[in-house]
C-alpha cells in the first residue's frame, strides 16, 4: 500500500486542482489530502478562502481520486503529518519546487507541474469583472 500525501487550500475547486490530485493519486494506492484551514490560508495569502474549511473538505472528499482528507493547521507541521499518515510520497505543485526537500529523509518528494492559465485568485478576479447587464436576472 503506497500512500501519497499532498496539501493545499483548494478554494473554488478548479481544473488545476483536479488535475494535480489525479496525477498525485496515480503515483500510489491511496491519496491523503491536507486541507489548509481558513486561518492558515489567511496568514499564507492574506485573505480568507471563499469556501469554509468544512465545505472544501467535503468537496475534495467527493472526488473519486481522493481517499482521505484532514485539516492542515500549520505549514511547519508537514513532517509530523507525513509521519502521522505514514505517507510514502509527498506531492506538491512545482510552484513549491525545492521548498520541501527537507522531507526527502522521511519520504519521496515529488513536484508536479501546475496547470497554466488558472488559479483561484484569477477566478476571483474574473468573477469580480463580470458586470451584469441591467436586464439580467439572478435566477440561476
Q: Note the residues at the interface with ligand C2G (CB under 6 A).
A: 7-10, 16-17, 20, 36, 44, 72, 75, 92-93, 95, 114-115, 118-119
Q: Given the complex with ligand C2G, which of 44 and 133 has the nearer CB atom?
A: 44
Query: What is the rounded distance in angstroms from the CA atom of residue 25 to the CA atom of residue 113?
Result: 15
Contact assessment for residue 89 and residue 28, using Cβ atoms and an 8 Å cutoff: yes
Contact assessment for residue 90 and residue 5, using Cβ atoms and an 8 Å cutoff: yes
CB of 51 to ligand C2G, least distance (A): 11
CB of 52 to ligand C2G, least distance (A): 14
Residue nearest to ligand C2G (CB): 93
CB of 118 to ligand C2G, least distance (A): 5
Contact assessment for residue 37 and residue 72, using Cβ atoms and an 8 Å cutoff: yes
Q: Given the complex with ligand C2G, which of 49 and 88 has the nearer CB atom?
A: 49
Q: Given the complex with ligand C2G, which of 34 and 88 has the nearer CB atom?
A: 34
CB of 116 to ligand C2G, least distance (A): 7
Question: 138 CB contacts (<8 Å, ≥6 apart)?
Answer: 132
Cell numbers representing residue 128 in the block: 469580480
- Burial class for 115, CB neighbours closer than 10 Å (0-12, 13-18, 19+): middle
Q: Given the complex with ligand C2G, which of 29 and 75 has the nearer CB atom?
A: 75
Amino acid at each position: 500500500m503506497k500512500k501519497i500525501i499532498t496539501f493545499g487550500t483548494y478554494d473554488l475547486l478548479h481544473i488545476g486542482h483536479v488535475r494535480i490530485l489525479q496525477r498525485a493519486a496515480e503515483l500510489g494506492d491511496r491519496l491523503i489530502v491536507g486541507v489548509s484551514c481558513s486561518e492558515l490560508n489567511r496568514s499564507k495569502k492574506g485573505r480568507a478562502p471563499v469556501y469554509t474549511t468544512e465545505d472544501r473538505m467535503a468537496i475534495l472528499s467527493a472526488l473519486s481520486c481522493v481517499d482521505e482528507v484532514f485539516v492542515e493547521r500549520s505549514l511547519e507541521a508537514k513532517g509530523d503529518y507525513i509521519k502521522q499518515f505514514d505517507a510514502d510520497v509527498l506531492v506538491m505543485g512545482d510552484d513549491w519546487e525545492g521548498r520541501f526537500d527537507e522531507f526527502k529523509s522521511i519520504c519521496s518528494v515529488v513536484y508536479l507541474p501546475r496547470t497554466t492559465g488558472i488559479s483561484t485568485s484569477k477566478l476571483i478576479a474574473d468573477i469580480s469583472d463580470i458586470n451584469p447587464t441591467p436586464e439580467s436576472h439572478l435566477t440561476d
